[in-house]
Amino acid sequence: MTLALPIIDGDGFDDWHWQLRNRITGKDEIAARLPLTADEAAGLDAAPGQFRVAITPYYFSLIDRDNPACPVRMQVIPSARELQNEPGDLADPLGEDSHSPATGIFHRYPDRCLLLALDRCAIYCRHCNRRRLVGKEESPISRDDLEEALDYIRRTPAIRDVLVSGGDPLTLSNARLEQILAALRAIPHVEIIRIGTRVPVVLPMRVDDALCTMLKKYHPLYINTHFNHPKELTPLARAACEKLADAGIPLGNQTVLLRGVNSSVRVLRKLFTELLRCRVRPYYLFQGDVAAGTSHLRTSVETGIALMQELRGHISGLAIPHLVIDTPGGMGKVSIGPDYVVARGPDKWTLRNYEGKLVDYPQPADKDATCAYDEVYFSGSQAPHGHEHTP
């Protein structure tokens, strides 16, 4: 069988709407563009009714057609192993449904909540932790449900920070996305708006001047994106990140540690240092969530800690993300990492540096940790925005 070339060009290739309309979604389409392994063929046979498959032509063009171990390929083409679950795998690994006081709202932490604006993504990742929800109807939240979600935020003054996610909010039209951002910015107690998106990675042509001009009206606005491998940092992806940064938007990156994709120190070092060059700060490195059908992509906790051990001290601290486990059952994120504390005592702590050398840190004689000026500063007029201190 002669394979056709993957779509890498064509009328409208630079148009993000064209990219979404021409996503590659089925076994026949994929098999015409690369030779499938038996495992991939079985996964694609099982996909209908089990999980969503969709790949933008742009992201598909990054796949190494001759190597099943290609890190882009492993993130988007399903395998039969997605039908296998291990003990502890969960449909709702983060317990989001139990923390949903309104449609489209997940409120797990006291001062921040998640607003799910839609269930569509530009591509569907094989490691998705929200696969029970994402891609079912490919629609934005209804206007009634959106208003209910916004009403919940309005009547919950403890919420200072809203993360707009989904699905991928940047696959919405500018007008629809602005409707959401404007409504959030009109709520007095919402100080920070964040957007979680993989668009700069998989649909970078979406990040155009019109989008950036709209977004910059809603500062302070932050964007967290999701690069998992340096192969994804193409010139187009870099330009998208730089365009957002030029609009004054601080950028963070959340990488998922994936077995066989980025589970080597060489890959992570390259990824994190190159992200900094694009003005994207590595923020989180997630141990894989216990989402059903993803166990074959998860590494052990020991692997994650060992990788962090090899990174610390060898690249800039700016390039070191927090290694975290987003715990099952909605118990929140827990930071983990190498243990650099050898001994603890009232007079000194003994620490181990990144080279394995030991050093003592003397404790102060006075253990009083109070701040005498706190009561003056936070008593009223001198506190920023009149808010009380939040630890």
Active site (annotated) includes residue 130: yes
Active site (annotated) includes residue 112: yes
Active site (annotated) includes residue 39: no
Give the active site residue among 14, 65, 111, 112. 112
More confident call, 19 vs 377: 19
On the CB side of 60, CA atoms within 13 Å amount to 28
More confident call, 331 vs 12: 12
Q: Lowest-confidence range among 23-32, 98-107, 156-165?
A: 98-107
Percent of the chain predicted with pLDDT > 70: 88
In this prediction, residue 138 carries a pLDDT of 60
Average pLDDT over residues 271-293: 91
Show contacts of 127-133: CB within 8 Å, 24+ apart.
Answer: 127/75, 127/256, 127/258, 127/288, 127/291, 127/294, 127/297, 128/291, 128/294, 129/93, 129/94, 129/289, 129/291, 129/294, 129/326, 130/96, 130/291, 131/51, 131/52, 131/291, 131/292, 131/293, 132/91, 132/92
Span(s) in the chain for CATH 3.20.20.70: 97-335
Active site (annotated) includes residue 360: no
Give the active site residue among 128, 206, 238, 241. 128
Which of the four pLDDT bands, split at 50, 70 and 90, describes residue 386? very low
Average pLDDT, the chain: 89
pLDDT over 80 at 249, yes or no:
yes
Active site (annotated) includes residue 326: yes
In this prediction, residue 96 carries a pLDDT of 54
Give the active site residue among 27, 73, 108, 198. 108
Residue 341 has phi, psi (to 5 degrees) of -95, 120
Give the active site residue among 109, 218, 222, 283. 109
| CATH number for the segment(s) 97-335 | 3.20.20.70
Give the active site residue among 130, 131, 194, 238. 130
